[in-house]
Structure 1
Amino acid sequence: MRAQAGMSTTRFPKLVLFDLDGTLLDSAPDMLATVNRMRAARGRGPMALQALRPHVSRGSRAMSAVAFPELGGEVPAELVREFLDTYAQELGRHSRLFDGVPALLEAIEAAGSRWGIVTNKPEYLARQVLPGLGWEDRCAVLVGGDTLAERKPHPLPLLHAAQALGVAVADCAYVGDDARDIQAARAAGMPALVALWGYRVPGEDPAAWGGDVLVQAPRDLLRWPLPLQVVP
């Protein structure tokens, strides 16, 4: 890892793209309420937040697998649909922005740059998050996991976001808390910043993901770690 957040900087890229859950938004409490409703409907007791939290960035199927370990990881489609339908009712009721995110987004805007979201969350759910945060007119582009034929770790969602705004890939960067985020950014040719404050399962080593910078907290990005070069 060649650089650490906190280097002297001059400006933000023209477009800063973020993952959503685990990067901008601490949505684990919403997810916990979702799986606990599903468990209660089956006569089971609630899960603890710390048991579910590491799996949030891996999506509805992974969280359902943790909530119902007897499935052995084989989660049927109807259970995923139940998760999504229940989550839609809990969305935004318990989640919050990570500390420092509001100031970071304001700084990006004040610098004349734009920011957007590329997430594997279904687009219709991701868009429902925006009004409660006052982001409808601030988020320049939003790409969900079902917006295109591919999702992260494929680079297409990141490339699509840049193209939609007419921004060259060289003028973008991506921030995410999962290995798939970093893989997607590297494949797209964008600097890849690892959000260490996000969700990780025990034993994961984010330094091994191949990102350009390890970032401890959103506020560290106020001193943007430029120049960045993508490792060949």
Structure 2
Amino acid sequence: MNKNATLVFHPDNSSLNNTEHTDIPELDTQTANQLLDNVFAACDMEPSVVPVEVLESWGNYKKHGFNLGRTLAYIFLIVLILLPLMFFRPSIIAERTDVKSASDAIYNIHIKTLLPLHSVSATINGTPVRLQEEGSKEFKAAISDNGTLKIKAVSFNGQVAARFYKVRHLDKEKPVLKDSYSKDGYIYLEVMDTYSGIDYPNIGGYAPDHFDTKTGMIVYPVPDAPVTVTIPDNAGNELVLLLSPVDNN
């Protein structure tokens, strides 16, 4: 075939009215090269020295490389977005609500984190403390001993946060008998409690005649027979004493 000849196509007009999809047949390599040469000739250009099959192979190669590069770019972008979350550490906020209580200390605990929590735990002097869940990332702990409270939170990404609080002024000791003596048919007891103080209205076992809250003096009539008295403090600790009749002879 003459390279200067021009291929003329006469499409069947009736095919335009056909609504069914018709696949375009693939050109063989020889026909494709001839068609390309005719296009260059029609444009008064030198024929291409690169065969069509080479161009086609290069296009397929570039297409695969482009798709691979785009996929890698998406993966890299996702990693960049998620990377800070991999090192995001939770923060712990704990506040004691009943500062004046001498029997126990109630702490409200809040964990601040964007990620789900894996676990939250607390110990007092190394002994586990039960945590009551109050809501989403909200907890409550009742501490009954003085010492060091440790709160530990582990995030879903494995990052760990821990905070330490000093628990003080919890009354865990019973009242102390400082002095005692008898005089004129009465027994005098000097009792002290450093932390919460004596709970005078709830003295039990044997009713005192009177007491002095400033000096800690408790006065009992001398009993006719031995009797046990219970002297509590405001934290619930109790001092138990045995009062006996006094021989005045």
The normalised TM-score by structure 2 is 0.20
Q: Write 1 or 2 for the structure with the bigger share of strand.
A: 2
Q: Which structure has the greater CA radius of gyration?
A: 2
Q: Which has the higher contact order (CA 8 A, sep 6+)?
A: 1
